[in-house]
């Protein structure tokens, strides 16, 4: 992606201040390890080795493995959660399609899977994930607010809840390693999902 490995040059202190080169090398090494080996290979020790960084340097800025993981996660580029194509069905297709592509082709899938897995073990990760998801549902609910303004979906549809529902399916596919969904198959899924959301 960036074209360079986690640790190209030797680094050292640049005085009584944080060294951004070390910070970058550590975060990049962490992401590489997640992508290549998954959460099982992800440890402070392994990241330090790969980044040619000292363990105390990592522990100074990222007190726990979970915090480092979440930092890697937050540095990702995220997909547009509320595309506006003019129709609810194509909006949802676009959103899910973008999510799948992001998870499939980039590093996003491996990182996000790891965050979810970590949340099953670490309350800090669980709390962070909950907060993040709530924000995303709020933002993404815009799709349904717009559609309601167009009288395209029923009154009783709750935007945030609908958002949560339509993203659930791809979550499950991510966690069960079945992300490769052909466009026509995805269209069928969206058809299942959307038809009930339309006003009669």
Partner DNA sequence: ACTTGAACGAAACGGCTCGTTTCGTTATAT
Partner DNA sequence: ATATAACGAAACGAGCCGTTTCGTTCAAGT
What pairs with residue 198 in β-bridges? Answer: 153
Helices (H), the chain: 20-37, 44-51, 55-61, 65-74, 88-105, 108-119, 123-140, 142-149, 159-175, 183-195
- Contacted entry of DNA, a second copy, none for residue 126, CB cut-off 5 to 8 Å set by kind: a second copy
Site size toward DNA, by CB under 7 A: 29
Interaction pattern, residues 4-43, with a second copy; x per rule: CB under 8 A: ----------------------------------xxx---
Using CA atoms, how far residue 96 sits from 15, 47, 52, 76, in Å, is 47, 32, 38, 17
Rule CB under 7 A: say whether 19 interacts with DNA: yes
Residues 98-117 that bind a second copy (CB under 8 A): 113-114, 116-117
Half-sphere exposure of 122 (CA within 13 A, CB side): 16
| Structure-token pair, residue 95 | 């959103």
Q: Is 15 left (phi over 0), alpha (psi -120 to 50) or beta?
A: left
Q: Is 116 left (phi over 0), alpha (psi -120 to 50) or beta?
A: alpha
Looking at 4-12, 78-86, 91-99, 153-161, which segment touches a second copy (CB under 8 A)? 153-161
Q: Can you tell me the distance from the alpha carbon of 31 to that of 86, in angstroms, rounded to the nearest whole number?
A: 36
Rule CB under 7 A: say whether 23 interacts with DNA: yes
> 98: helix, coil or strand?
helix
Rule CB under 8 A: say whether 184 interacts with a second copy: no
- Contacted entry of a second copy, DNA, none for residue 121, CB cut-off 5 to 8 Å set by kind: a second copy
Residues 46-65 that bind DNA (CB under 7 A): 46, 51-57, 59-61, 64-65
Given 29, 68, 119, 128, the residue binding a second copy (CB under 8 A): 119
Rule CB under 7 A: say whether 28 interacts with DNA: no
Residues found near a second copy in the complex (CB under 8 A): 38-40, 113-114, 116-117, 119-122, 126, 129-130, 133, 154, 156-158, 161-162, 164-165, 167-169, 171-172, 175-178, 188-189, 191-198, 200
Residues found near DNA in the complex (CB under 7 A): 10-19, 22-23, 25, 43-46, 51-57, 59-61, 64-65
């Amino acid at each position: 992606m960036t074209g360079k490995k986690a640790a190209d040059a030797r680094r050292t202190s640049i005085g009584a201040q944080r060294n951004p080169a070390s910070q970058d090398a550590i975060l990049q090494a962490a992401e590489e390890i997640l992508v290549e080996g998954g959460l099982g290979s992800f440890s402070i020790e392994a990241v330090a080795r790969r980044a040619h960084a000292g363990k105390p340097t990592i522990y100074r800025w990222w007190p726990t493995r979970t915090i480092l993981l979440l930092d890697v996660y937050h540095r990702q580029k995220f997909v547009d959660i509320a595309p506006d194509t003019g129709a609810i069905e194509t909006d949802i297709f676009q959103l899910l399609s973008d999510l799948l592509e992001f998870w499939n082709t980039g590093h996003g899938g491996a990182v996000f899977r790891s965050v979810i897995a970590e949340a099953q073990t670490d309350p800090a990760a669980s709390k962070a994930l909950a907060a993040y998801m709530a924000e995303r549902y709020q933002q993404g609910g815009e799709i349904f607010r717009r559609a309601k303004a167009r009288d395209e979906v029923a009154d009783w549809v709750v935007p945030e809840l609908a958002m949560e529902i339509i993203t659930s399916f791809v979550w499950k596919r991510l966690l069960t390693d079945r992300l490769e969904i052909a466009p026509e198959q995805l269209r069928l899924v969206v058809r299942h999902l959307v038809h009930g959301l339309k006003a009669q």
